[in-house]
Amino acid sequence: MKFKYILPILFIAILVTSCSSDNDDDIIINEIEGLIKVQDLSNSTHTIELYNATGTFKTGYNAISIRIKDNTSNSYMENATVSWNPIMQMPTMQHSCPKSTITKASGKDTVYEGFIVYQMANLDGSGWSLTVNYSINGVEYTTTDTITVMQNAKQNVTSFMGTDGSRYIISLVEPKTPKIAINNMTVGLYKMETMMSFPVVENYKITLDPRMPGMGNHSSPNNTDLTFKAEDAMYHGNLSLTMTGYWVLNLKLLNTQNEVLKGEDITTEIAQSSLYLEIEF
Amino acid sequence: MKKYIILVVSILFTGLTFAQDIENNIKKDTTSLDEIIVVGRRKLSNYRQNKIVSSIDDFLENSNKITMIKRGNYAWEASINNMNSNRLSITIDGMQIFGACTDKMDPITSYVDVSNLEKVSVGSGQEGTENGHCLGGGIDLQLPQSTFYDSGLKTNIDLGYESNGNYKTTGLDIEYSNTKFYLNADGIYRKSDNYKAGENKEILYSQFEKYNISLQSGFKLNEHESIDANVIYDKATDIGYPALPMDVSLAEALITSITHNYTNDSTFIKSLVTKVYFNTITHIMDDSKRPDVPIRMDMPGWSDTYGFYSKASVRANKHDVTFNINGYYNRSLAEMTMYPNDSNQPAMFMYTWPDVRTLYTGVYAKDSYSLNTHETLSTSLRFGFHKNRIAKETGLESLQIFYPEISDSKSRLLTSFSSNYEIKKNALDITLGLGYGERAPTVSEGYGFFLFNSFDNYDYIGNPTLRNEKAVEANFKTNYHFKKFHIGIESSYFHIMDYIIGEIDATLSPMTIGANGVQVYTALNSATIFDVYLNSSYQFSKTFSVNGTVGYNYGKGSNNEPLPLIKPFSYLAEINYSTPRFNAAIQLEGNGNQSKYSSFYGEDETPQYAILNLNFGNIFYIKEHKVVLKYGIENLLDTYYSTYADWNNIPRQGRNMYINLSYLIP
């Protein structure tokens, strides 16, 4: 009697396990999971696919993933060497912006990664173009197209002239999703050497004083100044946010001699530093 | 304690007595440190209180042990021995219940009404640990006992009106009982407009409206066992808090319990009471009626408590022993959302109580041992395990801004111990007591996040790393009766270690716009609190008596600063006239100048005051229906005054004429 019931269960069990083992062989790991395509850049041989988390470029720090598709075989290149150059076309001149080198994403075969810090945007998102240069098996290729970069709602990047006469760019990288806690804060600091060269500035110091203008310039404790870390060539510090809402991250940039290049301390008279970033959550 | 005869202490004033019939009772047991305030309207002697439909707060205030801290005309906070509710154990019939307001706008005494209760038991210091750990004392608001009286249906109607604030009260009480079953339903409704302080000055935002309904029913299972169920629903709306920057749009409580009673005189265990309970509170602060605030905000809070206790009493030889095992689980959550004046900015949000779960289990034992007919030695002991856990990740991370090293939970062991020796000889009785107690920090003290205190104008940050607060206590009480003259002295001394109090941290930036700064809860090495009361009475004749009380209180921290909210020199004198059907009394009540105010903790000096009260009572019958009428004038001279216990010096009521009517249909 009992066997009568056990038998079908047994069959189902065998069926299920056999099915799933079949599937295992066919599974393709989706290397762009969680990413949204921003745009394709094409030439006659390849299509360059640009991805990020939101599917749009905005001013500030943009982490970008790239895949290179062979137009004939529809397969993705795994052995390319890639570089890029974003250009902003202004009425009288053109300039680039801070950008990283492009490396293969760790643990992935077809995805390459890097970041670009767009320091400005036109209201309609026009003006920027992106050139991607890549070589596969010793053959050089290139492609260029216009891209759309929209203005971010809050100031997450700022470009300014220091008292040393140099132009700098500070860009907020972390926290991406701020929370009521001590957040790890990361910013990139770049010097505008020429219109096309934006090297990382090393070993300066950025002081941090987060404030809520909507709450009588309320501040928070246990923030730390941002210091340079060579591993990722960024500046790191602790950012305490005591509540959700709109925060102004007042900054001061100090060079290696501890001379203030930009920014002021917050006092009863000075409600906001001339060097600041914004967060809203 | 069954052996103790319930001490009925005058509602009107000081724990002294003046009516002959009660005086006999008192003489039997003046040494009990427990003070019992009778509030159940059916049980009261109608001569003992000036109002029939007084709020619980009024009742408590009329006890000489208790001072009420006032933030408005509603929901006052009890304090015993100059210690506020943080240091007290306040329970409803042994049930733990915790207010849901981060700013103490809802002491739990505000969630019950006189119609729910039979009596209030007050224990000073370590005498108050029967239901929980405390330093200052315990207040247990007791529900009516089972009443299988076979008295059939009884109806009672109460009406009250007070001229000051146009304060109206209506109460209806229906009771049915037979030998196996009883059902008691009551409801009470109160509404008051803004009251007027002396000199006819209206106090804005002092209105309130509330109603309370309760249902209690019981079945007798057999000769020794019965089961009771009790539900109380209390809802207050539109409550103004003139001393605070915000009002309350809703304070709602549902309090439920089921009790199993076992009594048997022939067994070893004489009685065993087991109760399981649940209560839930919703409290919503609101500033929409204030025309001028720096920022609009919502501050809701919730508190849910599940618990049980089992209480046994045993009598053997000369021992009278009570055991109590209890446990509860509480969830306290409060949040704040602020709306910036710049509408482009998003609302700002934070957890002010980060979903703190408190688990407590403890045991209590008390033994009263009669050494001989004159002397009794009582000892009580409570051990407990207390654990707090922050359930919300966001809440934990918020607090880690201030305390990066803390984890989500903290456990404590709590111990309380007390011993009393009492001797009664002829006209003299003396009680000496020693005690040691510990308490855990409250949710606000441990986990509060930017809680604004309008008293000192600082934001407060809780401190999860606080140690237990501990107190060593000594108390002394004596009474001497000489013919018609009575004199008594009562005194308590507390040496408190790791006294929890706020300390200014100048490096922190306040959250509240306009606040002076931020204080973080921390502990003083020690603090000392001392109080002494002298009372006396003289019975001129069967109908005429006078009595008076003077009190002195002292409190100082180890930093040599006076503690805040320490009562200045106080006095009360009363002349009574009473006959079986009529009574009248005139009362003089006052405080001296608060010379030892604590400017360090944000207090200012409250000047002395004195007020005169006049009250009358009549009792008469219309056929079988009993009618009790109470009327009088409070603050007869319309004095403009405030006391040390008035938050931000809000003035108290000016002249108030009141009349209360109680109509009983048996």
Is the Cβ of A122 closer than 8 Å to some Cβ of chain B?
A: no
Q: Which residues of chain A neighbour B400 with C-beta distances below 8 Å?
A: 181-182
State the best of B348, B350, B352, B463 to mutate against chain A, taking most chain A CBs within 10 Å. B348
State the best of B398, B463, B519, B520 to mutate against chain A, taking most chain A CBs within 10 Å. B398
Alpha-carbon gap, residue B270 to B314, rounded angstroms: 5
Band of the pLDDT at B623, cuts 50, 70, 90?
A: confident
- Tokens (6 digits) for B387: 């654990």
- Between A14 and B273, the higher pLDDT residue: B273
Stretch 235-274 of chain A: residues touching chain B, C-beta under 8 Å? 240-246
**Residue A78 included in any domain:** yes
Is the Cβ of B513 closer than 8 Å to some Cβ of chain A?
A: yes
pLDDT (tens digit per residue) in B287-338: 999 988 888 999 999 999 999 999 999 988 889 999 999 999 999 999 999 9
Residue A121 sits in the same domain as residue A174: no
Residue A193 sits in the same domain as residue A108: no
Burial of A199 (0-12, 13-18, 19+ CB in 10 A): exposed
To the nearest whole Å, the CA of B175 is away from the closest chain A CA by 52
Chain A residue at shortest CA distance from B405 = A182
- Between chain A and chain B, the number of residue pairs with CB atoms below 8 A apart is 86
Residue A56 sits in the same domain as residue A86: yes
Is the Cβ of B506 closer than 8 Å to some Cβ of chain A?
A: no
For B509, which of A182, A219, A243 is closest by C-beta distance?
A219
Host domain of residue A207: 157-280
Band of the pLDDT at B39, cuts 50, 70, 90?
A: low
Residue A201 sits in the same domain as residue A134: no
**Phi then psi for B589, rounded to 5 degrees?**
-135, 140
Q: Cα dist. A68→A31, A48, A79, A111 in Å? A: 13, 5, 10, 8
State the best of A154, A212, A218, A247 to mutate against chain B, taking most chain B CBs within 10 Å. A218
Instruction: Give CA angle at B403 (B400, B408), nearest 5°.
Output: 60
Query: What's the rounded mean pLDDT across residues B251-259?
Result: 97
To the nearest whole Å, the CA of B513 is away from the closest chain A CA by 6
Is the Cβ of A177 closer than 8 Å to some Cβ of chain B?
A: no
Evaluate the CA torsion angle A166, A171, A174, A178 in order and state its sign: positive
- Tokens (6 digits) for B457: 């104008």
**pLDDT higher than 60, residue B32:** no
Alpha-carbon gap, residue A220 to B433, rounded angstroms: 48
β-pairing verdict for A128-136 and A80-89: antiparallel
From the list B565, B429, B426, the residue with the least C-alpha distance to B489 is B429
Longest dimension (CA), chain A: 92
> What predicted TM-score, i.e. pTM, was given to this entire model?
0.87
Residue B296, strand partner residues: B339
Band of the pLDDT at B49, cuts 50, 70, 90?
A: low
- Tokens (6 digits) for B573: 């004198």
Band of the pLDDT at B666, cuts 50, 70, 90?
A: confident
Residue A145 sits in the same domain as residue A255: no
Residue A171 sits in the same domain as residue A143: no
Evaluate the CA torsion angle B19, B23, B25, B31 in order and state its sign: positive
Which residues contact residue B207 at a Cβ distance below 8 angstroms, ignoring those fewer than 6 apart? B73, B165, B192, B193, B194, B238, B239, B240
Which range has the worst mean pLDDT, B7-16, B212-221, B542-551, B562-571?
B7-16
**Residue A22 included in any domain:** no
To the nearest whole Å, the CA of A147 is away from the closest chain B CA by 29
Alpha-carbon gap, residue B495 to B441, rounded angstroms: 17
Domain ranges of chain B: 20-665
Contact criterion met (CB below 8 Å) for B364 and B340: no
Residue A36, strand partner residues: A52
To the nearest whole Å, the CA of B224 is away from the closest chain A CA by 53
Q: Which residues of chain B neighbour A243 with C-beta distances below 8 Å?
A: 336, 338, 348-350, 511
**pLDDT higher than 90, residue B28:** no
Instruction: Count how many residues are written for chain B.
Output: 666
Is the Cβ of B174 closer than 8 Å to some Cβ of chain A?
A: no
Is the Cβ of B403 closer than 8 Å to some Cβ of chain A?
A: no
Band of the pLDDT at B601, cuts 50, 70, 90?
A: confident
Give the pLDDT of residue A14: 53
From the list B145, B156, B90, B152, the residue with the least C-alpha distance to B123 is B90
For A181, which of B294, B338, B398 is closest by C-beta distance?
B398
**Residue A26 included in any domain:** no
SS3 B203: coil
Give the pLDDT of residue B76: 92
Give the pLDDT of residue A13: 54
Is the Cβ of A222 closer than 8 Å to some Cβ of chain B?
A: yes
**Residue A8 included in any domain:** no
Q: Which residues of chain A have pLDDT under 70?
A: 1-29
Is the Cβ of B204 closer than 8 Å to some Cβ of chain A?
A: no
- Between A167 and B44, the higher pLDDT residue: A167
From the list B458, B470, B56, the residue with the least C-alpha distance to B236 is B56
**Residue A41 CB-half CA count within 13 A:** 22
For B400, which of A181, A243, A280 is closest by C-beta distance?
A181
**Interchain pair B347, A242: CB under 8 A:** no
To the nearest whole Å, the CA of B407 is away from the closest chain A CA by 14
Is the Cβ of A221 closer than 8 Å to some Cβ of chain B?
A: yes
Of A150, A179, A195, the position where a domain reaches its end is A150
**pLDDT higher than 50, residue B266:** yes
A51: domain CATH number is: 2.60.40
**pLDDT higher than 90, residue B162:** yes
**pLDDT higher than 80, residue B11:** no
Give the pLDDT of residue A125: 86
Q: Which residues of chain B neighbour A214 with C-beta distances below 8 Å?
A: 295, 338, 340-342, 345, 348
Residue range B20-665, CATH number: 2.40.170.20
Contact criterion met (CB below 8 Å) for B631 and B660: yes
Evaluate the CA torsion angle B446, B452, B457, B459 in order and state its sign: positive
Alpha-carbon gap, residue A207 to A237, rounded angstroms: 9
Q: Cα dist. B188→A70, B150, B311, B475 in Å? A: 82, 25, 31, 39
Q: Which residues of chain B neighbour A218 with C-beta distances below 8 Å?
A: 509-511
State the best of B452, B508, B509 to mutate against chain A, taking most chain A CBs within 10 Å. B509
Contact criterion met (CB below 8 Å) for A189 and A162: no
Is the Cβ of B295 closer than 8 Å to some Cβ of chain A?
A: yes
End-to-end Cα spacing for chain B: 31
Alpha-carbon gap, residue B80 to B439, rounded angstroms: 15
Is the Cβ of B360 closer than 8 Å to some Cβ of chain A?
A: no
Stretch 75-114 of chain A: residues touching chain B, C-beta under 8 Å? none
SS3 B446: helix
**pLDDT higher than 90, residue B18:** no
> How many structural domains is chain A composed of?
2
Alpha-carbon gap, residue B321 to B271, rounded angstroms: 11
**Interchain pair B349, A245: CB under 8 A:** yes
Q: Whose structure tokens read 């509060």?
A: B448
Of A105, A127, A150, the position where a domain reaches its end is A150
Of A116, A132, A150, the position where a domain reaches its end is A150
Residue A164 sits in the same domain as residue A122: no
Chain B residue at shortest CA distance from A238 = B401
DSSP 8-state class, residue B444: H
Q: Which residues of chain B neighbour A213 with C-beta distances below 8 Å?
A: 342, 345
Give the pLDDT of residue A20: 46
Which residues contact residue A97 at a Cβ distance below 8 angstroms, ignoring those fewer than 6 apart? A86, A88, A116, A117, A118, A119, A169, A198
**Residue A10 included in any domain:** no
**pLDDT higher than 90, residue B271:** yes
Indicate the residue type of B601. Y
Alpha-carbon gap, residue B120 to B138, rounded angstroms: 10
β-pairing verdict for B167-177 and B152-162: antiparallel
Q: Cα dist. B402→A52, A180, A181, B409, B429 in Å? A: 35, 12, 9, 16, 53
Q: What is the ipTM of this complex?
A: 0.82
State the best of A183, A215, A224, A279 to mutate against chain B, taking most chain B CBs within 10 Å. A215
Residue B602, strand partner residues: none
**Interchain pair A242, B294: CB under 8 A:** no
For chain B, percent of residues with pLDDT exceeding 90:
73
**DSSP per residue, B614-638:** EEEEEEEEETTEEEEEEEEEESTT-
Residue A210 sits in the same domain as residue A249: yes
Is the Cβ of B291 closer than 8 Å to some Cβ of chain A?
A: no
